[in-house]
């Protein structure tokens, strides 16, 4: 295949020497959260270059109901529910993890390592970590996995909200051993994502790159939130501001966030959760301290996220909350409260003005 055609596929690697081997590659998936569920679902429906159906995806999740839901949705020919992590680790050639935070990631990988020390593999295993974690943890995981017989670790964070994962349009970032990246890339594109960006062999580069990207998104979301707040105070309709954002900042992701704020839609069940935003902002601030590279906008956004969580927690205690999980666009609450407005309901402010 020519370099031109590879570029069109979104893959920076030549095709593996034996693509037919993917027919016999057993893939295991650990973690079926907001992102992981869609990613695993799409991966299980992949076809080989020859149009053949590969082995069913073996999945495990802390709450088995999620795994059983996926199996019921797709059928046993595509999804096998593993009874525990040990089954995934011992029976699978590629183990992909998508987990909520660093502590859970570290716990799961330490479990995997314990099982493989007791039953060392006789052929290659590739661990693929797709969560958003601190770069230093990625380095620790690489050391842990590389110390096991025939095991390789790939750092593989992804860009995109759950709706992007649903459409298999994620942007995939990879760092680690070249041959393993190549194998994994051809499993994930186009089944899970649209493109791979290769950051080389240093596994800490991929999570750093992911946090850099999230810093741009988070900073832009904070600026947009402030614009909506100022517009509200100045009597300019949110719909007008939303249209303006589409004209001067026509990035699909930002327009999606702006649309949520314009509609006072902060439901995080199918979005990017407020807690996830706080975690990422904390990770970004860790990097700014490590490299002496201040990012004042991220400091502000971090404060806004914590303010929104504090308000939401108080509402839960009082039984007045309207949502169980907030999207990270709810950071607008910080700027709205600072401006003397209701934290989450711009329409409530308008109703008060009209009554007056």
User: How far, in Å, CA of 128 to CA of 12, rounded?
Assistant: 18
Length of the chain: 356
- Say if pTM beats, i.e. exceeds, 0.85: yes
pLDDT in single tens digits along all 356 residues of the chain: 444 444 446 899 888 765 545 668 999 999 999 999 999 999 999 976 655 678 999 999 999 999 999 999 999 999 999 999 999 999 999 999 999 999 999 999 999 999 999 999 999 999 999 999 999 999 999 999 999 999 999 999 999 999 999 999 999 999 999 999 999 999 999 999 999 999 999 999 999 999 999 999 999 999 999 999 999 999 999 999 999 999 999 999 999 999 999 999 999 988 899 999 999 999 999 999 999 999 999 999 999 999 999 999 999 999 999 999 999 999 999 999 999 999 999 976 654 444 44
pLDDT of residue 270: 84
Predicted confidence at residue 349, as pLDDT, reads 62
Task: Name the one residue in this structure whose structure tokens are 């055609």.
Answer: 5
The rounded distance, in Å, linking the Cα atoms of 264 and 351 is 14
Instruction: Report CA Rg, the chain.
Output: 22
For residue 47, the model assigns a pLDDT of 77
C-alpha to C-alpha distance for 277 and 328, rounded to whole angstroms: 6
CA distances from 60 to 45, 65, 81, 287 (A): 17, 10, 6, 32
- In the chain the beta strands, taken as DSSP E runs, fall at 27-30, 57-60, 79-81, 94-97, 125-129, 151-155, 158-159, 170-176, 193-198
SS3 202: coil
Q: How far is CA 243 from CA 113, 220, 226, 239, 287, in A?
A: 51, 16, 16, 6, 35
Q: In 3D, which of 287, 281, 286, 283 has the Cα closest to residue 308?
A: 281
Helices 238-248, 205-234: crossing angle, 10 deg rounding: 140
């Amino acid at each position: 295949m020519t370099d031109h055609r590879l570029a069109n596929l979104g893959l920076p690697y030549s095709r593996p020497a034996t693509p037919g081997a993917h027919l016999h590659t057993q893939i295991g998936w650990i973690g079926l959260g907001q992102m992981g569920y869609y990613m695993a679902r799409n991966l299980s429906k992949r076809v080989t270059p020859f149009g053949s159906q590969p082995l069913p995806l073996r999945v495990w999740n802390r709450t088995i109901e999620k795994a059983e839901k996926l199996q019921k949705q797709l059928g046993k020919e595509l999804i096998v529910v593993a009874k525990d992590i040990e089954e995934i680790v011992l029976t699978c050639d590629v183990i992909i993890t998508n987990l909520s935070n660093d502590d859970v990631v570290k716990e799961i990988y330490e479990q995997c390592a314990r099982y493989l020390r007791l039953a060392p593999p006789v052929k290659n295993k590739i661990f693929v970590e797709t969560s958003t974690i601190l770069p230093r943890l990625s380095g620790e995981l690489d050391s842990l996995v590389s110390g096991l017989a025939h095991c390789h670790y790939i750092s593989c964070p992804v860009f995109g909200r759950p709706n992007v994962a649903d459409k298999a349009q994620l942007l995939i970032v990879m760092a680690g051993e070249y041959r393993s990246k190549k194998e994994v890339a051809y499993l994930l594109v186009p089944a899970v994502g649209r493109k791979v960006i290769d950051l080389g062999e240093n596994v800490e580069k991929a999570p750093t790159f992911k946090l850099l990207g999230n810093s741009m998104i988070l900073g832009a979301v904070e600026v947009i939130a402030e614009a909506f707040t100022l517009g509200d105070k100045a009597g300019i309709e949110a719909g007008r501001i939303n249209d303006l954002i589409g004209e001067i900042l026509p990035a699909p992701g930002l327009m999606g966030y702006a649309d949520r704020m314009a509609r006072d839609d902060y439901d995080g069940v199918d979005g990017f959760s407020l807690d996830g935003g706080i975690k990422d902002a904390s990770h970004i601030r860790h990097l700014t301290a490590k490299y002496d590279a201040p990012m004042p906008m991220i400091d502000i956004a971090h404060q806004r996220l914590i303010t929104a969580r504090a308000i939401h927690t108080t509402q839960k205690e009082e039984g007045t909350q309207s949502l169980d999980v907030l999207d990270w666009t709810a950071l607008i609450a910080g700027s709205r409260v600072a401006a003397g407005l209701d934290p989450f309901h711009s329409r409530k402010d308008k109703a008060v003005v009209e009554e007056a």
